[in-house]
Structure 1
Amino acid sequence: MIKNIFILISIAYCFQSTAQNSTSSPYSIFALGAQNNASFGGFNALGNTGVANTDATQINNINPANLANIFENSMLYEIGTNAVYNTIETNSLSQNTLDFNFSHIAIAFPIKKNWGMGVGLLPYSKVGYTIDIEQQAEGDSFTYNTTITGSGGLNKMYWSTGFSLLKNLSFGLETSFLFGSIQQETVVFTSPGVNINESSYYNGLTLKTGVQYTLPFSKKSKTTLGASFEFPTSLNGTQTRTTYKTINQSQYSETTEEELDIDNFELPSTLTLGFNTAINKNISTSFDFKKLWWNGSNQGNDSNSFSDQTIYGFGLEYSPKKKEYGITNHLKYRFGLNYNTGYLTISNQKIDSYQASVGLGIPFSNGSLSKLNISYSYGKEGTLSNNLIQENYHKLSVNLSLVGNWFKKRLIH
């Protein structure tokens, strides 16, 4: 146990130290950046559904109650990465970008029968944009350019546990620590020139609860209801601002640095409801409904407003009957749809998105519970209406879901 936890901590440290999670979304200029709505394991290909999924061979980051289903003497490892090819366009311009990211690292293990625990690290939000603005000087006829670039984002480190006190009924609890920084650099190309660097640091704790209940109706099919609720929380914020000013053409500069208190960022309460139906152990359908109450967070400003956000997800998984040998007879075929109303309203226009996904779960060998999960997603976010921006993206996700032994006793002859 100590060895496994040490390995996780070491890998997590390397993940946090070296992984440069990036995005090229102009909409990441708002709030804490672009939301990370990705899931673990095969859930990416299932429309990011999973609040009612009871699969014991992959870690469920949507509902901690699923940890009650983990097999005794087993150890689950998860690590993932993704690549996003994005076409960003306006009514007159178009630009292509390519971003690579580590998506998560996590482990889960049993404490005893019907009681499991997990820890993990993943991006919570990502910031990455470059905006060029041409402005006219007040009281003058000349124009000047301003470039604004943003980077950074927040990370999420979580601890979760799930347990079952009654047959078919499981409960879960997750607490997370959010932390990270967002950098924004503003360069004004005038004479003298001005360069302003702002680094905003945020941190705070979140709390989520979950429940799963399996209906005892049929032996050939199994329907599970799931729900999770994340409580609203406030992230503490501080900012360091450095201003660099070029006085004249001799490049003599004047630099000022100041520490600023900024408003805390209020995260909304979040409710997720869903169901999963498995038929003959080889067909599974799932539907999730997720609601985020941004109206109560008092976020937004004069140029944009935050409104309540709703996310709908649908997933379908098919597994051939496993009586025959061969890897192809043990594949899991997945399909998913996802629609997100978004939380941003700009120029009276809601910034929504939708996504369609397909994927495969490939076992390492016949009878192996460990899988390589591959998914492809195509989606759109934003709109060209009211001179706004639309993003068309292709996303490839690759996750390793490994099942190992935990406290397995060796036989000595």
Structure 2
Amino acid sequence: MKRYFVIGCIIHCSVTQLNAQNNTSPYSMIGIGDLEKSSFDRTSGMGHAGLALSSNRFLYQGNPASYARLDEHFFYLEVSSRFKSVGYSGTAVTDPVNNWSADMQFKKLALAIKPASRWAVGVGLMPYSTSNYSFNSKKVLQGSNLDIDAYYEGSGSTNQFYITNSFAIAKNLFVGLQTSYLFGQMQETETLSQDISDSALSTNRNIVIGNPFLKLGLQYSFRVGKAIDLSLGATLSNKTKLKANYALQVKDGNTIILDDEYYKSNYFTLPLTYATGVAATYQNAYTVAFDYTYQGWSNLHYQGINYSLVNSQRFSAGVEYSKKLKYLNQLYEKHFFQAGFFYNNSYLRIAGKQLNEYGATFGAGMQLARSGLGLQGAMEIGKRGTSDAGLIKEKYTQFTMTISYRDFWRSRKMKRYD
């Protein structure tokens, strides 16, 4: 029965005063919120395509098998942040001035080492989903024809702390296992107007989520002719039931009329997810990559009044030019430029319309001369949703910045930066 009035909230919501320090979206009240598609790495400028990509110098988060290509005796550190601005349009948006939101947040911390020639290990912290919404709506009380004013507000996120182990099991064949612990907290409030009581009736929910999560990865590369390197990649994530401690409190004004807390062994289920990718590099400079991702939500049978969770697909593609120089018989990357695009059929179907998202990305990066520091930046412009059927269209612009650093780990060799 959860979220039975979601469609009424989204279609009829009166969106006002949206400009805030946190991005808001009425769609994020469904499930565990908006699922994060970015790995906050070098793929951010390539349409988020990179399941087949790997590097001896940078961390690729999308495929845990990629870590096995890192150079031995080094440690690798990356931190990322993102600024995002969103504008909202549609008949449900009643304020033409305050119809936007913006925020800037820290997004990723990743550390990796390669203690052996065939084994790399990494740890990190990244977002998995976010939920943040605030709007007015109409609600029809069950068992009556009474249509009353309601206010909905919610915030929270689900994050993943992960440990990645990656192995080279044969020449140019790599496997990886990312063991994550998903954790987070979401707070939801529904406030009904005083039309039905002498005081406002509010329902508060506090959900604390925690559960292990696994992702397998595979990469294989080979050379075609003398100048082209091809690589294939694939990942598989298991179906996972999220457990939660669920606290419910109902208040009539300042009077608590219900205060309950219980444990849910199946608060929400993440579907089986698989993804594949292919990449080609010409003369160690020009790269093109394609990814496909599928999530089987329909088998989970989540639905409410006029909304449901459906199978989702994402298509990503990107290109990159990398300028490399030779120094002491080693290739040194001076800078790179990227572009890409993506198209995503999301897992939300509302009022018979599956929400789609598409966008373009641009990226660039450089390594500071004779230093272990590297800088990566990416811009993304995209759209999500539709203004048809009283829904809300979101147009966004975001900028991602990643700082990378590597240095020798337990080695007395002369330093080199490449």
Report the TM-score when normalising by structure 2.
0.86
Contact 1:77 1:106 in 2 (8 A): yes
* Contact kept in structure 2, 1:47 and 1:357, CA below 8 Å: yes
- Given candidates 353, 358, 361, the residue that maps to 2:362 is 358
Q: For the residues of structure 1 that align with 2:179 and 2:109, how far apart are their CA atoms?
A: 16
8 A contact 1:341–1:353 mirrored in 2: yes
SS in 1 for 2:303: coil
- Give the deviation of 1:219 after TM superposition: 3.0
Secondary structure of the 1:392 match is strand
Where does residue 256 of structure 1 map in the other structure?
A: 258
Secondary structure of the equivalent of 2:54? coil
Deviations 1:240-298 (A, max 9, x none): 0122212xxxxx63453111444431111111101111111111110001111112223
Summarize deviations over 1:322-369 as a string: whole Å, max 9, x none: 369xxxx9221011111111111000001010010101112122x545
Q: Contact 2:222/2:229 (CA < 8 Å) preserved in 1?
A: yes
Question: Aligned partners of 2:357 and 2:267: how far apart in 1?
Answer: 27
Pairing 1:292–2:295 present: yes
CA contact (8 A) 2:23 2:85 kept: no
Q: Does 2:242 align with 1:235?
A: yes
Please give the secondary structure, in 1, of the residue aligned with 2:27: helix
Partner of 1:393: 396
In 2: Cα distance, 1:139 partner to 1:308 partner: 33
Q: Is the 8 A contact 2:249 2:256 kept in 1?
A: no
Q: What secondary structure is seen at the aligned counterpart in 2 of 1:319?
A: strand
> Post-superposition shift, 1:84?
0.7
Give the equivalent residue in structure 2 for 1:35. 35
Q: Contact conserved, 1:56 with 1:66, CA < 8 A, in 2? A: no
Alignment-derived partner of residue 16 in structure 2: none
Could you say which residue in structure 1 is the equivalent of 2:167? 163
Residue 78 of structure 1: aligned partner: 78
Structure 1 segments unaligned to the other structure (5+ residues): 1-20, 247-251
Q: Deviations over 1:109-151 (max 9, x none)?
A: 1020021001101111101001202457899999753211010
SS at match of 1:219: coil
> 1:231 Cα deviation (Å)?
1.1
Aligned 1:87-126 pairs, distance under 5 A: 87-91=87-91, 93=93, 94=96, 95-126=99-130
- Partners in 1 of 2:27 and 2:285 — Cα distance? 40
> Cα distance, 1:299 vs. partner?
2.3
1:217 paired residue number: 224
Distance across 2 between alignment mates of 1:337 and 1:318: 16
Equivalent AA in structure 2 for residue 281 of structure 1: N
Question: Partner letter of residue 397 of structure 2?
Answer: H
Tell me the SS of whatever aligns to 1:40: coil
Following TM superposition, by how much is the alpha carbon of 1:41 offset from its aligned partner in structure 2, in angstroms?
2.2
Confirm or deny that 1:49 pairs with 2:49.
yes
Contact 1:90 1:390 in 2 (8 A): yes
| Cα contact 2:92–2:391 (8 A) shared by 1 | no
2:323 aligned counterpart, secondary structure? coil
Q: Secondary structure at the match of 1:53?
A: coil
Do the aligned partners of residues 299 and 140 (structure 1) sit closer, same or farther apart at CA in structure 2, a change above 3 Å counting?
closer
Partner of 2:8: none
Deviation at 1:163, TM superposition (A): 0.8
Other structure's SS at 2:44 match: helix
CA distance in 2, matches of 1:395, 1:100: 9
Given that 2:119 and 2:165 are in contact with CA atoms closer than 8 Å, whether structure 1 keeps it comes out as yes
Partner of 2:380: 377
User: What displacement does 1:36 show?
Assistant: 0.9
State whether structure 2 residue 175 is matched by structure 1 residue 175: no
* Counterpart in the other structure of 1:311: 314
Please tell me the residue identity of whatever aligns with 1:245.
D
1:208 aligns with 2:219: no
Cα pair distance change 1:217/1:140, threshold 3 Å: closer
Q: Are 1:338 and 2:342 an aligned pair?
A: yes
Q: Does 1:68 align with 2:75?
A: no
One-letter amino acid of the counterpart of residue 237, structure 1: A
- Greater share of strand: 2
Q: Quote how far apart the aligned CAs of 1:321 are.
A: 4.5
Distance 1:380 1:35 in 2: 15
1:186 aligns with 2:193: no
Name the residue aligned to 2:11: none
Task: Choose from 304, 307, 320 the match for 1:301.
Answer: 304
Rounded to whole Å, the distance in 2 between the matches of 1:313 and 1:44 is 11
1:269 to 272, 293, 315: 272
CA–CA distance in 1 between the matches of 2:339 and 2:202?
48
Letter in 2 for 1:333: F
Tell me if the contact between 1:223 and 1:278 (Cα under 8 Å) persists in the aligned partners: yes
- Unpaired segments ≥5 residues, structure 2: 1-20, 328-332
Distance 1:152 1:44, change over 3 A: same
Secondary structure, counterpart of 1:24 in structure 2: coil
Deviation at 1:200, TM superposition (A): 1.4
What SS class does the counterpart of residue 342 from structure 1 fall into? strand
Q: Give the letter for the 1:243 counterpart.
A: V
Q: Equivalents in 2 of 1:232, 1:116: separation in Å?
A: 26
Partner of 1:18: none
2:323 alignment counterpart: 320
Q: Given the alignment of the two structures, is residue 402 of structure 1 paired with residue 405 of structure 2, yes or no?
A: yes
The CA distance in 2 between the partners of 1:361 and 1:76, in whole Å, is 17
Query: Aligned AA for 2:223?
Result: P
Q: What is the DSSP-based 3-state SS (H/G/I as helix, E as strand, rest coil) of the residue aligned with 1:331?
A: strand
CA RMSD of aligned residues (A): 2.3
User: Aligned partners of 1:153, 1:228: CA distance in 2, in Å?
Assistant: 24
